[in-house]
């Protein structure tokens, strides 16, 4: 029977602590390395749903790994290796308390803000008369502060970041340059596969004075993609765009009366729905990478992860 990994409680040599996020379990090894297990948990509306999605962790981990490799000539990154389909091991960095959000189109929260009358995002002025899903002349970088747990991230301008001393001007300029370089590379790769990289977020850290790209990049959990085919026609007619993201999970939840509000119950996730979500994630992988997805053996996913990680950790000093 195939299984998912929704929790992990490994004890690795040199392990100092574990941090469990919505989707990732991060093990600190010897104060030098991070061992990141991308679980099969799925979250929506800031709630982790009760069932894991087969192969979801593998999909996210392998997409992120491919994009880290494909952009390593632009910016150094935290990745050392992916010893298992669900695992990346990399350098511990001191994270900057910012998310660098890049928006190439007026979509999602930026559109909602614009529609309510706002004409600037993070201090960047926007012209009147724009329409939903309209492409910006140049992509916008709209950072947010990384909030403490339980708090909401806050939009912030470049000037305010520097004024508050969150990041020095010199560091911020380099982070901004890296952000745009990685986004443009991601956009080129997406275009080769008939996709538009609409918006995404990147995070950076510092290791011994060197700025590094950290965490996942350009995955369907951290990014929004449109299908390029039909984009213009849909835009001209004011129709919704065909998206490649986990939006379909949010839509299913809303159709079943759940938006993460107090008192609402998560609808029952049937086997059929779980399998459908799994198939959609595999479809996302194949569309984003242009490669066939090879399913890992998940008859004993925990045993496989533990064995592969222990074997790789022996090679690290």
Q: Which residues, listed in sequence order, are joined to residue 225 by a DSSP beta bridge?
A: 197, 244
Sign of the CA dihedral with 158 first, then 208, 308, and 68 last? positive
Q: What is the mean pLDDT of residues 284-302?
A: 95
Per the domain annotation, does 32 fall within a domain?
yes
What token pair was written down for 227? Answer: 């299908």
E strands, the chain, in order:
15-20, 24-29, 33-38, 43-44, 47-48, 79-84, 87-91, 94-95, 98-105, 120-121, 124-125, 135-141, 144-145, 154-155, 195-207, 210-214, 223-227, 243-244
Model pLDDT, residue 1:
46
Per-residue b or e along 252-265, where b marks 16 or more CB atoms closer than 10 Å to that residue's CB: bbeeeebeeeeeee
Model pLDDT, residue 154:
87
Per the domain annotation, does 28 fall within a domain?
yes
* pLDDT tens digits, 117-169: 999 999 999 999 999 999 999 999 999 998 665 556 789 999 999 999 999 99
* pLDDT tens digits, 223-265: 999 999 999 999 999 999 998 888 889 889 999 999 989 999 9
Cα gap 6→158, rounded to integer Å: 38
Cα gap 15→288, rounded to integer Å: 34
CATH of the domain at 69: 3.30.200.20
> Which domain does 57 fall in, by range?
15-94+271-313
Average pLDDT, the chain: 94
Model pLDDT, residue 102:
98
Do residues 203 and 167 share a domain? yes
Per the domain annotation, does 109 fall within a domain?
yes
Q: What is the mean pLDDT of residues 13-21?
A: 95
Per the domain annotation, does 7 fall within a domain?
no
pLDDT above 70 as % of the chain: 97
What token pair was written down for 88? Answer: 């990346």
What token pair was written down for 36? Answer: 């990141």
List the one residue out of 162, 107, 115 whose CA is nearest residue 134. Answer: 107
Under 8 Å between Cβ of 219 and 23 = no
Cα gap 180→221, rounded to integer Å: 19
Model pTM?
0.93
What token pair was written down for 232? Answer: 């213009």
Domain count, the chain: 2
* pLDDT tens digits, 182-206: 999 999 999 999 999 999 999 999 9
CATH of the domain at 177: 3.30.470.20
What token pair was written down for 261? Answer: 């509000």
Per the domain annotation, does 276 fall within a domain?
yes
Per the domain annotation, does 75 fall within a domain?
yes
* pLDDT tens digits, 205-229: 999 999 999 999 999 889 999 999 9
């Amino acid at each position: 029977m195939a299984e998912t990994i929704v929790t992990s409680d490994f004890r690795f040599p040199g392990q100092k602590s574990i941090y469990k996020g919505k989707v990732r379990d991060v093990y600190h090894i010897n104060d030098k390395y991070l061992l990141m297990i991308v679980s099969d948990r799925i979250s929506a509306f800031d709630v982790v749903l009760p069932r894991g999605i087969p192969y979801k962790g593998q999909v996210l981990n392998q997409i992120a790994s491919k994009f880290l490799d494909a952009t390593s000539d632009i910016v150094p990154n935290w990745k050392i290796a992916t010893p298992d389909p669900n695992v990346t091991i990399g350098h511990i960095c001191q994270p900057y308390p910012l998310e660098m959000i890049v928006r190439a189109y007026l979509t999602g929260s930026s559109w909602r803000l614009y529609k309510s009358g706002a004409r600037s995002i993070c201090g960047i002025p926007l012209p009147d008369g724009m329409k939903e899903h309209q492409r910006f002349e140049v992509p916008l970088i709209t950072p947010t502060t990384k909030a403490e747990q339980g708090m909401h991230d806050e939009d912030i301008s470049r000037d305010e970041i520097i004024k508050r001393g969150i990041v020095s001007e010199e560091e911020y300029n380099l982070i901004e340059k890296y952000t745009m370089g990685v986004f443009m590379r991601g956009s080129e790769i997406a275009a080769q596969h008939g996709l538009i990289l609409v918006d995404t977020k990147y995070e950076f850290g510092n290791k011994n004075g060197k700025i590094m790209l950290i965490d996942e990049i350009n995955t369907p959990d951290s990014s929004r993609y449109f299908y390029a085919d039909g984009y213009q026609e849909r835009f001209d007619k004011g129709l919704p765009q065909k998206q490649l993201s986990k939006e379909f999970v949010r839509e299913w939840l809303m159709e079943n009366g759940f938006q993460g509000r107090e008192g609402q119950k998560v609808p029952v996730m049937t086997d059929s729905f779980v399998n459908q979500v799994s198939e959609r994630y595999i479809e996302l992988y194949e569309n984003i990478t242009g490669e066939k997805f090879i399913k890992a053996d998940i008859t004993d996913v925990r045993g496989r992860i533990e064995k592969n990680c222990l074997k790789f950790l022996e090679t690290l000093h």
